[in-house]
Structure 1
Amino acid sequence: MGSIRTHIRQPESSDEQWHALIGALAAAYERGWQPADLVHVASRALDATAVRCAAVTVLHEADLSGAWSRAPQGWLDQLRTIADVHPERNDPAEIGAAECASLTFLWRRLPRWHVLCPPPSAWPTRRAEDPHASATAADPKVLNKIRGLLAKAESTEYTEEAETLTAKAQELMTRYAIGAALLEAATPGSRVVVHSKRIHLDNPYVKQKVLLLTSIGDANQVQTAFTAQLGIATVVGSPVDLEQVEMLFTSLLVQATRAMRTEGEKGSRSTPFRKAFLFGFAVRIGQRLTEAGKAATAQAVVESEVEYRDLLPILANRAEAVQAEVARLFGPMREMTCSAVDAGGWHAGRSAADAATLASDGSAIAG
């Protein structure tokens, strides 16, 4: 399903170099790295030509290893995204000796990392359907509604409309997540399912971007661990929460960048201003998403006809499961520090996040 086939020819690099590159890729997978990770680290360390070669190599290896019919769903999603970003489908034979050597050297040096899903050596001959997948996956209809709200928020030129649409998306996310938690708790023999996913952050302003991701995650029962030297954040939470947080982060990053550029057109274009802007935006949007989530939680309790005191243990149980997985993967962690130096940027960023009422009925929320 979704397989992308490449025509195999002798690469410009030697047979020995080509086999060494495929070997470095396969070995990195066994050490916990995934397809999108390897293309991302190539983008941070090498030039655009090498990055295209990295994408071609990843897709070609997927053909050789039968990944399209064997890999977990998350792995397939990464392969499809890589193919979408690099639609030229370059022939592996066009990979030059220099790019081949650079990628081999880079991937061989990658250390062992947290294993978030089974590596290729543990895959079955043919992927079996996960009997629990339908129970833990988000409802496509709900996701489409959320995507629709966020797409409108990204397309509008009016800040207030964007904020209101984003708030509605958050409320829908919260109500759906609570409904999923109640259903899971009511199912005999069920257990809390926690997954992990890596989010790749590009320069510039990576530290401020991960703060935005963390703020969104905190409002949605998702924890974030950041590996600064790689520009990779790992988010941990329920499958539903992870998918929703990633959608919201992608949209809010677009909105924040647009608002920052609008301020730049007024004359504020310095790097300190932009960093402070994104910092202020992230802090305030996190507060407002939390407020919207609390309002949606109260509404969900009314709609589900459960007592709030009965919901609290369910949410606490999910939070404990997420925290336990974070501790298992990363052990003790320290909090990332981030400060805003440019006062104008800080206040402008907060204003961009605070420009509109977030309640879905248009009433003000006390903050």
Structure 2
Amino acid sequence: MSGRGTFDDGRPSAEAGALVGAVAAAYERGWQPADLLHLTRREGECPPALAATAVLYQARQCRAADRAPTAWSDQLREVADQYPDQARLADGVPVDDPRGDHLAGALVAGRSGFLGYQMTELATEWNRLPGTTILLPLPEEWPAHRADAPTSEPAGDADPKVLGRIRGLLAKAERTEFEHEAETFTAKAQELMTRYAITSALVRSRSAAGRTAVHSRRFHLDNPYLTEKVHLLTAIGEANRVRTVWAADVAIATAVGTAIDLQQVDMLFTSLLVQATRSMQSSAAEGRSGSRTTPFRKAFLAGFASRIGQRLREADAKATEDAAADESVPLNTLLPILAGASAAVDSEFTRLFPGTRKSRARSVDAHGWYAGRASADDAALTPGARPIRPGK
């Protein structure tokens, strides 16, 4: 092949090497593997599969599996799971390939079929990314071999068995066609995670260190209704001692909190968004006036987020009282512990994002707003609880 960004007479090309170099450069400016995949899909100009290949190959080059923080390695595993063909392609290329010769040959051969101009476009796109807030140690700071329990790792992750039970309950809530079953499954999941988080906070307070470890996690949101989805994420976070900041230009929300609270927010947000979307679609199927319009649907999600935030805060207060009773700890002893965790989160949030400002509320479709709030009332959060209707 010949021409701009292609290969001639089988000679190696520099485009592949430049693309892998762009991955490393983006990391040094604060971006992470999942960010690059999200931004590539969002731009829509280059194949996400090409981005996945470059990210996974670069990870092998820098031995990320042995050196990177666990949160970073988890992202790489998710990329490999989403793009198994690209994972096999990256694994099959020799790591000692500084000019990208072998990688270039693999990318243009067989089923991959990526062209040089696509590599150039993607590298250019990534090289244009500005610096962003650094949330994890940079690759240049990684140790030669990751320790078994590095200080950079999130402390207090929930027991995998507990997380497995919670994910199973939420999956059942999302699959069932019966609203009562969905309410029961969601409520049980909420109860399990809330109790676990409070118990972990008590254990931490009794330990020798007693320090609240605060971490950050990025949420990549997709169209449509981005602003409304952020409102839902923020409402869930505020009810669980998690602070959230929104970068609209890249459609990324960053949440700051303890490891367990972040896990809880992640799982609740995913499940409640599915449930809100399903309820919104049901309104359209029932022929409710204006329910198929964009203003109605935006207002529906905004109303759902507002009401679900209130209900989660109420549930958190009740769960705290119940946990105190179960642990035989006076409530006036437990509340300062939770307040201390919130203060640690606030401090870290201010350090990471000193220049944030609160977003202003906008007028919305009234019918959609109240329909969304009613749907949030139907999402019972306590097993056996009756739906709460405003004014009753």
Q: TM-score, normalised by structure 2?
A: 0.86
Q: 3-state DSSP class of the match of 2:145? A: coil
Would you say 1:59 and 2:56 are equivalent positions?
A: yes
Q: Which residue of 2 aligns with 1:343?
A: 366
Question: What's 1:75 paired with?
Answer: 72
Deviations 1:217-264 (A, max 9, x none): 111111111111110000111111111110111111111111111122
Q: State the partner residue of 1:273.
A: 296
Q: Matched residue of 2:218: which SS?
A: strand
Q: How many angstroms apart in 1 are the aligned matches of 2:154 and 2:81? A: 26
Larger deviation: 207-216 or 60-69? 60-69
The letter for the 1-side match of 2:165 is K
Q: Please give the residue correspondences for 1:187-336 in structure 2 after superposition, counting only pairs within 5 Å.
A: 187-267=207-287, 268-336=291-359
CA change 1:62–1:135 in 2 (3 A) is: closer
Match of 1:226, SS? strand
Q: Distance in 2 between matches of 1:208 and 1:364?
A: 23
> Would the aligned equivalents of 2:154 and 2:259 in 1 still touch at CA under 8 Å?
no
Q: Distance in 2 between matches of 1:13 and 1:230?
A: 37
Distance verdict in 2 for CA 1:77–1:221, change over 3 Å:
same
Correspondent of 1:115 among 106, 120, 134: 134
AA matched with 1:276: A
| Aligned mates of 1:359, 1:62 — CA distance in 2 | 44
Q: Does 1:15 align with 2:30?
A: no
> Deviation per CA, 1:269-317, whole angstroms, max 9, x where unpaired?
1111111111111111111111221111111000010111111211111
Indicate the percent of aligned positions where both proteins have the same amino acid: 51
SS of the aligned residue for 1:251 comes to: helix
Gap change, CA 1:14 and 1:260, over 3 Å in 2: farther
For 1:29, the equivalent position in structure 2 comes to: 27
Matches within 5 A, 1:156-171: 156-171=176-191
The Cα offsets for residues 160-210 of structure 1, whole Å up to 9 and x where unpaired, read as 332333222222222111110000000012311000010100111111111
Alpha-carbon distance between aligned partners in 1 of 2:179 and 2:361, rounded to the nearest angstrom: 26
Is structure 2 residue 127 aligned with structure 1 residue 130?
no
CA RMSD of aligned residues (A): 2.2
Counterpart contact for 1:170–1:293, Cα < 8 Å: no
Any conservation in 1 of the 2:377–2:387 contact (CA below 8 Å)? no
User: How far off is 1:365 after superposition?
Assistant: 6.5
Q: Secondary structure of 2:19's partner?
A: helix
Residue 41 of structure 1 aligns with which residue? 39
CA offset at residue 152 of structure 1?
1.6
Residue 43 of structure 1 aligns with an amino acid whose one-letter code is R
* Residues 364 and 207 of structure 1, relative CA distance in 2, 3 Å threshold: closer
Contact 2:377 2:389 in 1 (8 A): no
Change (3 A) 1:326 1:135: closer
Equivalent residue letter for 1:173: M
Cα 1:345–1:19 shift into 2, 3 Å: same
**Cα distance in 2 for residues equivalent to 1:13 and 1:319:** 58
> Relative to 1, partners in 2 of residues 1:75 and 1:357: Cα closer, same or farther, differing over 3 Å?
closer
Distance in structure 2 (CA, Å) of the matches to 1:134 and 1:35: 18
Pick the aligned partner of 1:103 from 112, 122, 125. Answer: 122
Q: CA deviation at 1:13?
A: 10
Range 265-274 or range 243-252, more displaced: 265-274
**What secondary structure, in the 3-state scheme, does the structure 1 residue paired with 2:273 have?**
helix
Question: How many equivalent residue pairs?
Answer: 357
In structure 1, C-alpha distance between the alignment counterparts of 2:177 and 2:389, rounded to whole Å: 26
- 8 Å CA contact retained: 1:284, 1:353: yes
SS, match of residue 196 in structure 1: strand
Secondary structure class of the residue paired with 1:136:
coil
1:134 Cα offset (Å): 8.8
Instruction: Provide the C-alpha distance between the structure 2 equivalents of 1:247 and 1:357, rounded to a whole number of angstroms.
Output: 16
Tell me which residue corresponds to 1:140.
160
* Distance in 2 of aligned mates of 1:243 and 1:13: 48
Show structure 1 runs of 5+ residues with no match.
1-9
CA distance in structure 1 between the aligned counterparts of 2:120 and 2:31, rounded to whole angstroms: 19
Partner of 1:129: helix, strand, or coil?
coil
